[in-house]
Chains A and B, each alone.
Chain A
Amino acid sequence: MYSEKVLEHFKNPRNVGVIEDADGIGEAGNPRCGDMMTIYIKVKDDVIEDIKFQTFGCAAAIATSSMMTELVKGKKIEEALKISKKDIADALGGLPPIKMHCSLLAEDALRKAIEDYLKKKNK
């Protein structure tokens, strides 16, 4: 049901954890619905220098979180904002149709973390 890549990221997720002095934090999903994601970013000169995630959810939710952090790390904010749920799913070799909402969750949480960062910066 899952691609090799999904299973690989599920088994060994990249960038799991918390950044205590994060510049932006984004949260998406709801534990009631079975998946929830928190993203932490550290930004320097408009570049996402570090990113960490914590996810409660199924294999697809964990794998999409992991892949998203890989795609975003080291990218400029404006480039990161261009990454779509489809890019994340494609990078994982596709997702079962019923699991596509998991990749939306990753996109959502990232956008919220960036918004949070921009809001703090412009204060």
Chain B
Amino acid sequence: MRKVYLDNNATTPLHPEVRETMIEFLNENFGNPSSIHWAGREAKKALEDAREKVAKLINAEPSEIVFTGSGTEANNMAIKGIVFQNLERKGHIITSSVEHPSVLNTCKYLQKKGFEVTYLPVDSYGMLDPEDLKKSIKKNTILISIMMVNNEIGNIYPVRELASIAKENNIPFHCDAVQALGKIEVDVKELQVDLLSISAHKVYAPKGVGALYIRKGLKIEPLITGGHQEKNRRGGTENMIGIVGFGKACEIAKREMKEVAERVKRLRDKLEKGIMERIPDVKLNGHPEKRVPTTLNVSFLYVEGESILLNLDMEGIAASSGSACTSGTLEPSHVLTAMGIPHEIAHGSVRFSLGRDTTEEDIDYVLEVLPPIIQRLRSYSPLYNKAKREK
């Protein structure tokens, strides 16, 4: 059976060069980078090489990069690291209603602990209005955390503009850039952010590594206390093999990003156009232009997402959905509901996320397989039946 992987926002396959680099490293280097002897020094060198490559991709200084165990940990470290500096003063945090759960649930946790949180709304395209941020700032606002690219719909948020509002008000600004890295330019100096989270496995490197950019001079509380690793900012012996892979992937991304983005955008647009032409009653979720080139999120009216995914999976196609049935809760995607999309339409959403390995043949195959699946599921659907009668 043909296998087509269109879930690159969930995770990406290893880049062949990353795999090579990791195998080479595994064969030769085992030391603890904290040790002073030759084995330690070799590991330390590999660690600092990787740090430099990661820093370079986002235009940071190597000393501003702290490696973590995931993007989720980086988000936790940024948010808790700021607000835990003053536990007596339970300040106010501003975030958006469409953040990744690692930001959203961290904020909800802090709310339970007595902090005040504002969740900025989005419009029907899933876009944020910087005016809303201005209006939400209070005297006791201690942190603003807003993502750069939305994982579900691919929207790109005006981080530079949002961060400059934070700067004018002397409030630290954190940006979750996990879904932006490697897809669009991420330049911490241009964006003027104070903290920025990234993750390795979204850029063709292994799972289990992330990083947090902490602007020079900004103090934050460590999330994991322990040894003096990462300049006392994150205890625990470094995940060397993952970090080395992450470094290589960042080096490659710097080189390949533009070419991949152009190629993938053409394929994504072909997929979008092809679906709209072949299948009636489909709704695009997200902003038609202000969107990364890899992501397409659409709702197929009158059918439910999990049943679409399972049918696609039977044909070898991997995608994802904002349906409640795939999330393990009874609520559909918080992103789609924040956009005001009715629940029954949110349940029918499917996210196709393309990557550097996606081919023209993959897209042709999806366009061949998908229309009969939707048609068949609609023939089972009482909602479709009703809509047809009303027409």
Q: A interface vs B, CB < 8 Å?
A: 2, 7, 10-11, 13, 16, 18, 27, 31-38, 54-62, 98-99
**B1 interface residue per 8 A CB criterion:** no
Q: Nearest CB to that of B328 among chain A residues?
A: A98
The 21 sampled A-B contact pairs (Cβ below 8 Å) are A2-B310, A10-B310, A11-B314, A31-B344, A31-B383, A32-B342, A32-B344, A33-B324, A34-B304, A34-B325, A34-B330, A35-B304, A38-B382, A38-B385, A54-B380, A56-B303, A56-B344, A56-B380, A58-B306, A58-B323, A58-B325
**Cα-based distance from A56 to B383 in the complex (angstroms):** 7
Contact check, B381 vs A55: say whether CB atoms are below 8 A apart. yes
Measured between beta carbons, the chain A residues less than 8 angstroms from B343 are 31-34
**Cα-based distance from A36 to B382 in the complex (angstroms):** 8
Q: B interface vs A, CB < 8 Å?
A: 302-304, 306-307, 310, 314, 323-325, 328, 330, 332, 342-344, 347, 379-385
Measured between beta carbons, the chain A residues less than 8 angstroms from B310 are 2, 7, 10, 58-59
Contacts A35-B304, A58-B306 known; 6 new A-B pairs at CB < 8 A: A10-B310, A16-B379, A32-B342, A34-B324, A36-B383, A55-B382
Q: Nearest CB to that of A13 among chain B residues?
A: B380
Contact check, B385 vs A18: say whether CB atoms are below 8 A apart. yes
Contact check, B302 vs A56: say whether CB atoms are below 8 A apart. yes
Contact check, A57 vs B324: say whether CB atoms are below 8 A apart. no
**Among candidates B307, B328, B342, residue contacting A58 with C-beta atoms closer than 8 Å:** B307
Those 5 A-B pairs whose CB atoms lie nearest each other, nearest first = A31-B344, A58-B325, A54-B382, A58-B306, A32-B343
From known contacts A10-B310, A56-B304, infer whether A34 and B347 are also in contact, taking CB-CB under 8 Å. yes
Contact check, B385 vs A54: say whether CB atoms are below 8 A apart. yes
**Cα-based distance from A59 to B373 in the complex (angstroms):** 13
The smallest C-beta distance from B309 to any residue of chain A, in angstroms, reads: 9
Measured between beta carbons, the chain B residues less than 8 angstroms from A99 are 325
**Cα-based distance from A84 to B153 in the complex (angstroms):** 41
Contact check, B314 vs A55: say whether CB atoms are below 8 A apart. no
**Cα-based distance from A18 to B379 in the complex (angstroms):** 10
Measured between beta carbons, the chain B residues less than 8 angstroms from A57 are 304, 307, 325
From known contacts A31-B343, A32-B343, A33-B343, infer whether A54 and B332 are also in contact, taking CB-CB under 8 Å. no
Contact check, B382 vs A59: say whether CB atoms are below 8 A apart. no
Q: Nearest CB to that of B306 among chain A residues?
A: A58
The smallest C-beta distance from A113 to any residue of chain B, in angstroms, reads: 13
The smallest C-beta distance from B318 to any residue of chain A, in angstroms, reads: 15
The smallest C-beta distance from B378 to any residue of chain A, in angstroms, reads: 9
The smallest C-beta distance from A52 to any residue of chain B, in angstroms, reads: 11
Q: Nearest CB to that of B303 among chain A residues?
A: A56
The smallest C-beta distance from A17 to any residue of chain B, in angstroms, reads: 8
From known contacts A31-B383, A54-B381, A54-B385, infer whether A59 and B307 are also in contact, taking CB-CB under 8 Å. yes
Measured between beta carbons, the chain A residues less than 8 angstroms from B382 are 27, 36-38, 54-56
**Cα-based distance from A66 to B328 in the complex (angstroms):** 23
Q: Nearest CB to that of B379 among chain A residues?
A: A16
**Cα-based distance from A60 to B306 in the complex (angstroms):** 10
Measured between beta carbons, the chain A residues less than 8 angstroms from B380 are 13, 16, 54-56, 62
